[in-house]
Structure 1
Amino acid sequence: MSDRRDAKKIMDECISQCMDFVDDCHAKCSENASECMEECSEFPGAYSDQCEEICNDNKNACDHICDEFADKCTDICSKTH
């Protein structure tokens, strides 16, 4: 019986670590987007707007990758533990 509880505990711990990684992933996306926006502010007018659009697109793509990884946490943990 305790083996099963241990396995669940290990699995829960793995998923928790995986979700921490996902949180870090999203934080990195936001950090990169902020840096990108700062660089955009150096461009004049329409260039700046276009630059910011690219930053937002990149952030959305980055966040999507993090979310894809989050969806796989249970799978990853069940295969490794």
Structure 2
Amino acid sequence: MKNLFEKTWKIITQNPDRLFYLFLFAYTVLMIVLCFFRDMIKDESLYYRETWLMSEVFKSGEWIGDYSVGLHGFLF
């Protein structure tokens, strides 16, 4: 098992690009996993509520026109 890790490490370290992509992949996976274990702060919950409200208004065919749209504005 130790020999397998040594061979793999040698292959990865021979090409710096592979090492970068390995760390980038590990970081991305870690951030995706951690995002499921966080609480939504008040600002985010307002944003999601506002987005839902705008989608419902547009579904019903209403035009929001020149009115200001919530705290964040219409981002999409």
TM superposition score normalised by structure 2: 0.35
Structure with the greater alpha carbon radius of gyration: 2
Q: Which has the higher contact order (CA 8 A, sep 6+)?
A: 1
More helix by share: 1
